[in-house]
Amino acid sequence: MSNVRKPELRRSVTPWGSFSWGYSDVGADIFVGLGLVLGAAAGASNVAFLFAGIVYVCIGLAYTELAATYPVAGGGQYFVLRGLGDIFGFIAGWAVLLDFTIDIALFSWSCVDYLSELLPQVGAPFHPWSHFILVTGLIVGLCVLNIIGVRESTAFNGFVSALDVVSETAILSLGFLFAFSPDLLVHTMQSSWPTPFEFMKGISLAIVSFVGLESISQAAEETQRPASIIPRTSTALILTILIFALSYANLALGMQTWHPIPLDAHGHPQMLWQWLGNNDNNGKAVALIARQVPYWGAIAAFYVPVLGAILLLISSNSGVFGSSRIAYAMASGGLLPSIFQRIHGRYRTPMISLLVFTGVALIEVIFAALPSLSPSMAELYTKYFHGEGGIGFLGDLYAFGAATSYSFVFVALVALRFTDPLSPRRFKIPINIPMRFRGERVEFPVVAVLGFIGITAILAFTLITHPIGRIAGPSWIAFGIILYFVYRKRKGWPLFRSRKRDWRGEQIEILRRAGELELMDEYVANVRASDERRGGSTR
């Protein structure tokens, strides 16, 4: 056996770097999700965010436990592969790939929306072709940058994340202090409560504001002492995003406007949340709220669009980078054809993966832009898809991909508690029921079951309320499964069963590479003790 070790990623991500890595992805979601939810759930938007937020906390806890226990680049796809087997690992990874391509398209789209606050010439409602061309140009540019090996630095992520946290805190603090009316909030909730269908749609879109925890897991293999750092940074990120999402929803529903808001199509005055939630504005809701904040708004009107655009562009770039990394990892694990492992000879980057999944993102942008570019397509979308298009179309697919992958992650966490009870878990989801399984002490995670119920409800709401999402989302999964079966059959590998892997040896190597030598020794001792109890031999 060769003693040459395979190349390892440099472990240079600090605690703040780990937080900012996640925040640069998850923190951008509120810039997109707020307007979508207000447009769908109206006076119950805060309740929709609360429901999705509770599920998000469960998701965050699950990812924290799994990323700290298995600190490898691969995230949810790796957890599901290890817990449930090859085919389910593929489906989870394929759903994550959908979300990463939506990351690219959705955040590039919203980046241009925020820039249109300062440059109306690129706004989709007024100049759809310039908007479409600029979005397409951004995506192509990000693909080229990633092919030649350029990616955002952790230091830049940290700077932008810190600036955004300060900015959003200021907007919320001054907004609640000078413009918020509890009576108006209660009145809005009572007078504008949505129908059950609209409420389900709002909940399904609210999960968009909480997608991106995968980023911390993706960075686990580059994080210093991940078993200790990831639980702290993940907890901080969960609380920060939850507070921001709930605060923005309540502020929008109960905020007195300080500047004139255009009348609606019938010449009637609009409420702030109605203005934020209409199709022309829902992609830049945070910037519009900032503009309404007394005193601070005059300054925020200039810098919030720029800050939001930068944060959204970073998130779009994380989608380009993340999709190629997931595809490369899946190809390395025998879940995708080996062509996705192909490395550019000069730049040493996964060029094929970058080109293919950036191409998918461009196709999504074309479908999203069709209603605004073509009157005949606008009529078709109105007839068959209730007028969904643009950012709404992208939000549909984003919610579907997230809900699908998160559902599998919850099941994988439960499965790994039973199939891998020997791995040390420095962080565990709270509320566990101790029991014995195959002679080993295991703990059944109650919160994971509750989270699974919540996320499958959101998945059901997505399929019920989104005409495009219930067609395009499952079609993406079906196409992927066909690709998986064809590839596995050509390789002569089992279609439904998993290939045999040495998970014990791999876990020792994972902990060694993570620098978690104490956990590695504890794992080896656990394995030895388990083998002795069973009367087997140790390695």
Q: Are 180 and 254 in contact (CB under 8 A)?
A: yes
Q: Which amino acid is at 256?
A: Q
The model's pTM? 0.86
Contact 533, 440 (CB under 8 A): no
Report the C-alpha gap between 277 and 91 in whole angstroms: 33
Mean per-residue pLDDT of the chain: 84
pLDDT at 384: 54
- Closest listed residue to residue 304, CA positions, set 167, 409, 180: 167
Q: Is 464 left (phi over 0), alpha (psi -120 to 50) or beta?
A: alpha
Task: Indicate the pLDDT class of residue 287, thresholds 50, 70 and 90.
Answer: confident
Contact 235, 64 (CB under 8 A): yes
What pLDDT does residue 156 have?
Answer: 64
Cβ contacts of 424 within 8 Å, gap of 6 or more:
69, 227, 519, 522, 523, 526
Considering the chain, what percentage of its residues have pLDDT values greater than 70? 84
Assess if CATH 2.40.10.170 describes domain 15-501.
Answer: no
Residues facing 433 on adjacent strands: 444
Q: What is the mean pLDDT of residues 197-202?
A: 93
When comparing pLDDT for 508 and 515, which is higher?
A: 508
Candidate ranges 107-111, 281-285, 346-350; pick with highest mean pLDDT: 107-111
Could you tell me if 440 and 385 are in contact, meaning their C-beta atoms sit under 8 angstroms apart? no
Q: How far apart are CA 196 and CA 198, in angstroms?
A: 5
- Assign residue 424 a region: left if phi > 0, alpha if psi is -120 to 50, beta otherwise? beta
Q: Which of the residue ranges 144-158, 234-248, 457-471 would you say has the lowest mean pLDDT?
A: 144-158
* pLDDT band (50, 70, 90) for residue 502: very high
Work out the average pLDDT over 19-45: 83
Q: What is the residue extent of each domain of the chain?
A: 15-501
Residue-wise pLDDT tens digits, 380-400: 666 555 556 667 778 878 888
Tokens linked to 473: 């989302």
Per-residue pLDDT at 15: 64
Q: What is the pLDDT of residue 402?
A: 87
Q: Is 500 exposed, middle or buried (0-12, 13-18, 19+ CB in 10 A)?
A: exposed
Q: Is 397 in contact with 29 (CB distance < 8 Å)?
A: no
Q: Is 324's pLDDT higher than 50?
A: yes
CB 270 within 8 A of CB 281: no
What is the mean predicted confidence (pLDDT) over 250-278?
75
Highest mean pLDDT among 30-39, 116-125, 219-228, 478-487: 478-487
Q: What average pLDDT does the segment 330-358 reach?
A: 86
Radius of gyration, alpha carbons of the chain: 23
